[in-house]
């Protein structure tokens, strides 16, 4: 994932680094402020003294448990389907590959509510697969499985693009060496390729999980909102905001902390820069 | 290089043009803009009423914003500048006591059962919603339509396990129109607006609720006189006829 050209960087000790131009520093500081102020607002607005009581309430615990269940299954689904897809995109040659790659990226840029409408038109009762699914007794809208599907739809792209980038950038000599020693393709994948891309796989999985945990629009549109079944933490924040803004801020703080913890634990591994 | 700078100029023009156009419109147009925050169930009828009012009052422009009543109250508390608030129950209006002027009721509404067109599941009364396996959606208890829906079920002595508690009454209607849910409880006016795309099963009056829409000017309004005029107009024959046609009742 290191961009070409960065290997020719001159050692900083030999030549004095150019000073940071103020014309870049000022907007950069503004950018940081733009991103940081809303989060500081959550910290400032959170009802700290009542935090344990609010986050420990049965309602919040139920939504947290459901959120963990849904995001966990979404991650599992993303790994089971996304890892093979990333491998195919990185290694196989077939017509229409750019099209498939765009398809994988689409959920990242679609408004989540549009994703929800699309899921209804695809897997809803009157959607494309609604009839066949009903015939085998499967109904996805308004179920926890539907919430998992919505979360996987919007979060799997993170896993696929992270892993595909790592696989494409891999030095192929190790795999070739393994092949010359008589290893089969699945053996190479298991013993050579996957261990080499494990850091990227971990990073992609963490981002996928964090995105699944934060999923709101597609879940609400496709799976609806019912406590204990489909009301995950983000949906609860939205409804709490209408009757209990302080409660909404408390749950928001919980989600901010979880997301920040995931990103800090990655320490820039996803972007390949800023380590250490 | 030239192509790139041309693209940059084009992009800049696209970004600036709408802003410039707004500025022009404001300079040429001396009209006063009134911001009206209203409950979602009023969306269709107020859009229609706006055209009529702006024609009658050429120097007034109405900017309409619709959301669930609770959300509107939250928006005002967060400092959203507005002139008029119309909610779907008195509780939400009372929550802003001290920040609103005189409250008047402009319309009434009731709840009704909506089903797929032609009522394929044969739901004939409120008790029919309790049938096992039937997918019923209600509005979330946090929004007025959800509270009213639960009141209807309580009065009918019916226990319903909904498959979803939607964040707004229009989302309930949407799930029924899309065919994802078998039935839902919505305002009569929502069912009227949906026309042929839903079936309607009336809720008998002894089980039904009387929904009244309170309207008031906000004390922070920068155009209190114009806001008062609009509220008076909402009580006039012209506006009341529009409300009646949309399925609303006398307040």
Which fold, A57-170+203-271? MetI-like fold (1.10.3720)
Please tell me the predicted confidence (pLDDT) of residue B113.
97
How many whole angstroms separate alpha carbon A69 and alpha carbon A65?
A: 6
Please tell me the predicted confidence (pLDDT) of residue B26.
47
How many whole angstroms separate alpha carbon B206 and alpha carbon B200?
A: 18
Residues in CB range of B173: below 8 A, 6 or more apart: B114, B184, B186, B190, B191, B194, B198
Q: Does residue A275 have a pLDDT over 60?
A: no
Please tell me the predicted confidence (pLDDT) of residue A13.
53
Q: Note whether A112 and A218 are within 8 A (CB).
A: yes
Chain B positions contacting chain A at CB under 8 Å are 68, 70-71, 74, 77, 135, 137, 140, 142-143, 162-167, 175, 178-181
* Pairing mode, strands B60-67 and B136-139: unpaired
Which residues share a beta bridge with B185?
B113
CA distance A56 to chain B (A): 21
- Residues A206-215, mean pLDDT to the nearest whole number: 95
Q: Note whether B135 and B217 are within 8 A (CB).
A: no
pLDDT tens for A93-134 read 999 999 999 999 999 999 999 999 999 999 999 899 999 998
User: Per the structure block, which two tokens stand in for B56?
Assistant: 């009658």
Q: Provide DSSP, B44-64.
A: HHHHHHHHHHHHH-TTEEEEE
Q: Do B180 and A242 touch (CB under 8 A)?
A: no
Nearest to A63 by CA among A218, A248, A262: A248
User: Per the structure block, which two tokens stand in for A173?
Assistant: 């000599």
Q: What is the ipTM of this complex?
A: 0.77
From the CA atom positions of chain B, what is the Rg in Å? 21
User: Per the structure block, which two tokens stand in for B81?
Assistant: 């500048």
User: Per the structure block, which two tokens stand in for A104?
Assistant: 């994988």
How many whole angstroms separate alpha carbon A159 and alpha carbon A76?
A: 11
List the single best residue of A242, A243, A249 to mutate versus B (max B Cβ within 10 A): A242
Q: What are the residue boundaries of the structural domains of chain A, listed by start?
A: 57-170+203-271
Which residues share a beta bridge with B166?
B139
Region of residue B136 (phi > 0: left; psi between -120 and 50: alpha; otherwise: beta): beta
How many whole angstroms separate alpha carbon A62 and alpha carbon B133?
A: 24
pLDDT tens for A218-268 read 999 999 999 999 999 999 999 888 778 889 999 999 999 998 888 888 876
Q: What is the mean pLDDT of each run of 10 residues along chain B (251 residues)?
A: 67 66 52 92 91 92 90 89 93 91 94 96 95 95 90 96 92 93 95 94 95 94 94 94 93 83
From the CA atom positions of chain A, what is the Rg in Å? 22
How many whole angstroms separate alpha carbon A11 and alpha carbon A46?
A: 46
pTM: 0.81
Query: Which of B74, B135, B180 is the closest to A241 by Cβ?
Result: B74
């Amino acid at each position: 994932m290191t961009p070409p050209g960065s290997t020719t960087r001159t050692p900083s000790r030999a030549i004095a680094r150019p000073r940071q131009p103020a014309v870049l520093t000022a907007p950069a500081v503004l950018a940081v402020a733009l991103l940081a102020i809303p989060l500081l607002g959550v910290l400032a607005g959170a009802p700290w003294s009542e935090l344990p009581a609010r986050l420990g309430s049965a309602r919040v615990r139920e939504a947290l448990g459901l959120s963990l269940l849904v995001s966990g299954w979404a991650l599992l689904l993303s790994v089971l389907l996304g890892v093979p897809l990333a491998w195919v995109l990185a290694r196989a040659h077939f017509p229409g590959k750019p099209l498939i790659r765009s398809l994988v990226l689409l959920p990242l840029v679609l408004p989540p509510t549009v994703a929800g409408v699309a899921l209804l038109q695809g897997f809803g009762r009157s959607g494309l697969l609604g009839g066949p699914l009903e015939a085998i007794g499967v109904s996805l809208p308004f179920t926890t499985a539907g919430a998992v599907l919505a979360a996987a739809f919007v979060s799997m792209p993170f896993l696929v693009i992270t892993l595909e980038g790592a696989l494409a950038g891999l030095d192929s000599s190790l795999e070739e060496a393994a092949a010359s020693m008589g290893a089969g393709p699945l053996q190479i994948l298991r013993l050579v390729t996957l261990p080499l891309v494990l850091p990227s796989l971990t990073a992609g999985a963490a981002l996928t999980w964090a995105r699944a945990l934060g999923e709101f629009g597609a879940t609400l549109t496709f799976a609806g909102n019912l406590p204990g079944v489909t009301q995950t933490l983000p949906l609860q924040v939205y409804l709490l905001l209408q009757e209990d803004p302080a409660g909404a801020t408390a749950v928001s703080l919980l989600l901010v902390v979880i997301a920040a913890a995931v990103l800090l634990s990655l320490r820039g591994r996803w972007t390949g820069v800023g380590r250490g | 290089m030239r192509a790139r700078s041309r693209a940059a100029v084009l992009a800049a023009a696209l970004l600036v043009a709408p802003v410039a156009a707004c500025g022009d419109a404001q300079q040429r147009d001396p009209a006063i803009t009134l911001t009206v925050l209203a409950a979602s169930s009023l969306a269709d009828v107020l859009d229609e009423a706006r055209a009529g009012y702006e024609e009658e009052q050429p120097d007034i422009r109405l900017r309409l914003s619709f959301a669930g009543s609770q959300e509107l109250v939250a928006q005002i508390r967060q400092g959203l500048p507005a002139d008029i608030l119309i909610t779907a129950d008195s509780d939400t209006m009372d929550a802003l006591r001290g920040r609103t002027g005189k409250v008047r009721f402009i319309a009434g509404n009731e709840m009704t059962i909506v089903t797929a067109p032609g009522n394929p599941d044969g739901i004939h009364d409120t008790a029919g919603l309790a049938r096992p396996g039937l997918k019923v959606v209600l509005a979330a208890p946090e929004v007025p339509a959800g509270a009213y829906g639960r009141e209807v079920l309580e009065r009918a002595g019916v226990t319903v396990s909904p498959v979803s508690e939607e964040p707004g009454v229009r989302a309930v209607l949407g799930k029924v129109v899309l065919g994802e849910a078998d039935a839902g409880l919505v305002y009569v006016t929502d069912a009227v607006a949906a026309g042929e795309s839903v079936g309607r099963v009336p809720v008998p009056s002894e089980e039904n609720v009387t929904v009244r829409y309170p309207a008031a000017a906000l004390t922070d309004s920068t155009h209190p006189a114009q806001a008062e005029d609009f509220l008076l107009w909402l009580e006039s024959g012209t506006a009341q006829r529009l409300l009646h046609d949309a399925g609303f009742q006398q307040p």
